[in-house]
Structure 1
Amino acid sequence: MDCVCKQRGKGSQDQHQHLISFWVSGPVIVGAGPSGLATAACLKQQSVPSIILEKEDCMASMWQYKTYGRLKLHLPKYFCELPLMEFPQTFPTYPTKEQFISYINAYAERFNIRPRFNRRVQSACYDSGLKRWRVRTEMVRERESILVEYICRWLVVATGENAEPMVPDLPGLSSFKGRVVHTSDYKTGSEMEGQKVLVIGSGNSGMEVCLDLCNHDAKPFMVVRNSVHVLPREMFGLSTFGVAMGLLKWLPLRMVDKFLLMASHVILGSTEKQGLKRPEMGPIELKNTTGKTPVLDVGALAKIKSGKIKIVPAVKSLTLNGAKFVNGQEEAFDSVILATGYKSNVPSWLKERELFGEEGLPRKSFPNGWKGEKGLYSVGFTRRGLLGVGSDARNVAQDIGAQWRNLGERPHHHKHFILYTKPG
């Protein structure tokens, strides 16, 4: 359709709002992280064009903006490759944050993927009359708010399980006079040299932050509220995860879990003596059932054994100068780091509850959570990290590709038209 626009008068002090609608021939993908890029690449292999909408100004924004400096892939690189492209052979077994970001950029370049940045999705709902999805985004430029709506047959949710930081409702959090920072804003322990730091959370992030603090001569106290599995990152010269994946091809899951725990005891010793009680369920079964990832130790356990990282129980409340713990103990701290994880943001914008539950995760467990009704899909919600992304992306692309060919669709420029202009 031709573009029809009502122009505002010169010198107007009112903020104007435009709504521009695009009729999209292929799928719309929400999220330009690894999940969205992998889906777009697999769709290209099926000769299906797509549009990626990204709220930030870059690809893989979580990796670029919300990760600490010492971060490396927890699994060997061959378990973290996106479909159709390997990591460079020159990369180490566990690539750094910077190396992974360079891989993402090279991946987008290879498949000529050009996300539309600064497009924060406000809402996505299914129009039963059009039998299409309406995906509405907002851009603000100077005094002008532009709503851009994409109308599409297929919608792929690729924002991932870890879209937004999860901040606990902790009594006294607002009254603590020291610095409080979530791991999404933590970069390095150099800013906390010599400080007593309370780290709330004992997962992989909490452990690595504590290790980083030790390396910068800070004094970390790590809150261990629940049981946790700590495994060596490698055993007998091989990746622990790789060993587990290999054994699962031949042995029952629970037998593999027993082997991992016995080998971990030989390599690491008893973690319970260090205040790290193991869950009753084995590490792989627990991951598959609840999504809780075991800690792959890269040196923090040795610091715990030496006393440089101190283990403390759950926090009852923060105080003006520190924290009270559930055992009645009280301690002063200079800073608090929230290693409390992330959550999905899907419930805030997707107006559909058939595929996703209230927590923003697929209702069906892996490998059946990638497809919903009415052309709705999800990628990157498998609780299996980058390894699960590839499986989802291939499934989604093959399914959409088959429909594309049956419909006889052909790529064309996306039609657009401005529906209205009004003062805000």
Structure 2
Amino acid sequence: MNRPVDVVVIGGGQAGLAAGYHLRRLGIDFVLLDAQTGPGGAWRHAWDSLRLFSPAAYSSLPGRLMPPQAGRPSPDAAHVTEYLSAYERRYELPVERPVRVRAVRRDGERLRVETDSGVRSARVVVSATGTWWRPFLPAVPGSDAFRGRRLHTADYRGPAEFAGQRVVVVGGGNSGAQIAADLAGHADLTWVTRREPRFLPDGIDGRALFDAATARRQALDAGLPDTGGVAGLGDIVAVPPVRAARDQGLLKAQPMFTRLSAHGPVWADGTGADADVIIWCTGFRPALSHLAPLGLRDRHGHIPTAGTRALGEPRLHLLGYGDWTGPASATLIGVGRPARDMAKEIAARLS
């Protein structure tokens, strides 16, 4: 067994680093376990053309502004990865990698963290594993019959490999719109959405989204009517590539099909389309399998929390999975505040 510590943080992406920053500031003994081979978390695996919604300065973790990227008002994924790597070094965060956590179990007054490189014992565990590692694929009749390739957002890297192919992109959110825009002009594109795409006004960026998410959380906490948050504004941020493809008439969405045949999608009226590839931009689910031994999930797959603290296990905190673990906590700009509040709560418990 490795040296016992006060806190084990699981996950070395943006949420884990924000947690580490605030734990270090409070002088708490912790270790950060990351399954990846290098810094950057999910950003290491994003598609090449992915852009942030906001300028670098408004996409920063606590303590250090993200530097601008030359020639790009909104940085790309590679720039974010470089920033997170520099962030680790700047604050000398105690990251161990690659270490994959298999299970967290109760062990008397402590929690037992079982990994592929040994066991850690902690008084508190912070789970910050995000969602990228658990892509969601909806059940569609005929999926097994389709003879083409079936991919997910997590598998997409760029348009080059799809040149001249018949590609169906499924999903009316940001990833669906961005990947459809990326493929427009390179592939024979069909973009499919469950409802008419809702583009946010062109001036809306990550700053406005963070403010909307925060206002919604504050309203709910105060018992006021739900403002709708980000969803009340729309579904798709019109980043420059999406805006350009939209304005050129290249993003014409088709309604969702009802089934798949061997050759491609089939709609309710019986019409069909041939496809070589279907890319499912249908989102992700929280990566929480390592917490299964604690038996905390509700019927929706979430772990009920008060702030970041798990209601069923007060020695466990969850950070960065979405609004249910802090307003906009799945974003670079949004994760700092819940990480700060969490670290203060952990410090109070340890004392």
TM bracket (short chain): 0.7 to 0.9
Distance 1:240 1:54 in 2: 30
Displacement of 1:27 in angstroms is 0.1
Give the match's secondary structure for 1:391: helix
Contact 1:361 1:381 in 2 (8 A): no
Deviates further, 206-215 or 368-377: 368-377
Number of the residue aligned with 1:320: 262
Aligned CA distance change for structure 1 residues 342 and 90 (closer, same or farther; 3 Å): closer
Q: Which residue does 1:417 correspond to in 2?
A: none
Tell which structure's C-alpha radius of gyration is larger. 1
Q: Partner letter of residue 203 of structure 1?
A: G
What is the total number of aligned residue pairs between the two structures?
Answer: 333
Query: Does the 8 A contact of 2:11 with 2:129 survive in 1?
Result: yes
1:141-175 CA-to-partner distances (Å, cap 9, x unmatched) read xxxxxxx1111101001112443111222222232
Output aligned runs, 1:340-379, within 5 Å. 340-347=282-289, 349-354=291-296, 356-364=297-305, 368-372=306-310, 373-379=313-319
Q: Secondary structure at the match of 2:138?
A: coil
Q: Counterpart in 2 of 1:172?
A: 142
| TM-score, scaled to structure 2 | 0.85
Query: Which amino acid in the other structure matches residue 202 of structure 1?
Result: G
Q: Distance in 2 between the 1:104 and 1:186 partners?
A: 22
Selected match of 1:95 from 75, 97, 105: 75
Pair 46,164 (structure 1): closer, same or farther in 2 beyond 3 Å: same
Residue 357 of structure 1 deviates from its aligned partner by 3.3
State the match for 1:421 in structure 2: none
Q: 2:50 aligns with which of 65, 71, 86?
A: 71
TM-aligned CA deviation for residue 247 of structure 1: 8.9
Distance 1:360 1:51, change over 3 A: farther
Equivalent residue for 1:81, pick from 60, 72, 87: 60
Quote the offset at 1:183 in angstroms.
1.4
Residue 187 of structure 1 corresponds to: 157
Alignment of 1:132-147 (within 5 A): 132-139=110-117
Larger relative contact order (Cα-Cα within 8 Å, sequence gap ≥ 6): 1
Query: Structure 1 residue 79: deviation in Å?
Result: 3.2
- State the alpha-carbon separation in 1 of the partners of residues 234 and 132 from structure 2: 13
Q: Give the 3-state SS of the residue equivalent to 1:44 in structure 2.
A: helix
With over 3 angstroms needed to count, the CA separation of the structure-2 counterparts of 1:243 and 1:43, relative to structure 1, is closer
Structure 1's 63 and 358: CA in aligned 2 closer, same or farther, altered over 3 A? Answer: farther
Consecutive unaligned residues of structure 1, counting only runs of 5 or more, are 1-20, 140-147, 254-280, 407-424
Contact kept, 8 Å, 1:200 with 1:336, in 2: the verdict is yes
Q: Distance in 1 between matches of 2:158 and 2:231?
A: 32
**Structure 2 residue runs without a partner (length 5+):** 217-224
Partner amino acid, structure 1, of 2:109 = K
CA contact (8 A) 2:47 2:156 kept: yes
Distance 1:316 1:288 in 2: 25
Structure 2 equivalent of residue 256 of structure 1: none
Distance 1:24 1:245, change over 3 A: closer
- Runs of 4+ in structure 1 displaced over 6 angstroms? 244-249
Match of 2:89 among 84, 109, 113: 109
| Residue of structure 1 in register with 2:104 after alignment | 124
